């Protein structure tokens, strides 16, 4: 039987990384699918040969990483490009996340999956879905101050992701992150305690 696991998701700038770090500090093991996707498309990454074969050298940087800015533009402009890129990345991400999960120690596993609701198969792979939720205006403000993107650019990214309602409909647990970071502490403490006891019950069933 698989280990007890939480799929942590939320829109861009909602606070996924912040909440994931807090759960890790309390003893959860993190598997960050975004970081894995970055490693796969970094110089020497496992996805690079297929990206070169499919899209050509023009989509690589001088260092041999995927040229993210160029790929992002192309994927917006060319209707089949997104599916072709995902066909390369998704199986590799799946293998790498399974390996990272098998190596992970922690009390329970947290998979950080920005597009969990959009991607379909993730929901079946985790024991519970945790959504970090905030108003769209809060997302816009946070991402603008972190990245230097314009409001229009941030809103375009948000519009391409699942809506707040779709995400909440998929959630087993929700963290409200419209407040300050102190307001996160009791919410994270409460969920962590619940996950520890659910993980213990899960492991008990597995050993019966
Ligand atoms: P995500 O991983 O979902 O994109 P982050 O956790 O990186 O979101 O948060 C986005 C930005 O907002 C970061 O700069 C983070 O430090 C900040 N942030 C997150 N939660 C809060 C909060 N409750 N109050 C103030 N800033 C926050």
What is the chain's Cα-based Rg?
18
Highest CATH level, class, for 1-28+108-208: alpha beta
| Atom 19 of ligand 1, nearest CA residue | 15
CA–centroid distance, 142 to ligand 1, in Å, is: 6
pLDDT tens for 69-126 read 999 899 988 989 999 999 999 999 999 999 999 999 999 999 999 999 988 788 899 9
Token pair, residue 146, equals 């972190």
Q: Count the residues in the chain.
A: 208
CA–centroid distance, 182 to ligand 1, in Å, is: 12
| Atom 16 of ligand 1, nearest CA residue | 18
Domain boundaries, the chain: 1-28+108-208, 35-105
Token pair, residue 41, equals 């498309």
* Cβ neighbours of residue 57 closer than 8 Å, sequence gap 6 or more: none
Cβ of 15 below 6 Å from ligand 1: yes
pLDDT tens for 28-74 read 999 999 999 999 999 999 999 999 999 999 999 999 999 999 998 99
Cβ of 161 below 6 Å from ligand 1: no
């Amino acid at each position: 039987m698989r280990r007890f696991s939480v799929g942590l998701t939320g829109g861009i700038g909602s606070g996924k990384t912040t909440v994931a770090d807090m759960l890790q500090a309390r003893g959860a093991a993190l598997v960050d699918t975004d970081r894995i996707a970055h490693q796969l498309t970094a110089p020497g990454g496992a996805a690079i040969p297929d990206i070169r074969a499919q899209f050509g050298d023009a989509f690589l940087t001088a260092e041999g990483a995927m040229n993210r800015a160029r790929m992002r533009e192309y994927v917006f402009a060319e209707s089949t490009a997104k599916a072709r890129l995902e066909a390369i990345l998704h199986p590799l991400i799946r293998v790498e996340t399974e390996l990272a999960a098998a190596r992970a120690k922690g009390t329970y596993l947290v998979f950080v999956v920005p597009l969990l609701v959009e991607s379909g198969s993730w929901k079946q792979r985790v024991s519970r879905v945790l959504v970090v939720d905030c108003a769209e205006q809060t997302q816009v403000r946070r991402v603008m101050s972190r990245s230097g993107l314009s409001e229009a650019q941030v809103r375009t990214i948000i519009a391409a992701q699942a809506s707040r309602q779709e995400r909440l409909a998929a959630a087993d647990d929700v963290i409200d992150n419209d407040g300050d970071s102190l307001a996160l502490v009791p919410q994270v403490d409460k969920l962590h305690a619940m996950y520890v006891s659910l993980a213990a019950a899960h492991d008990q069933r597995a050993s019966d």
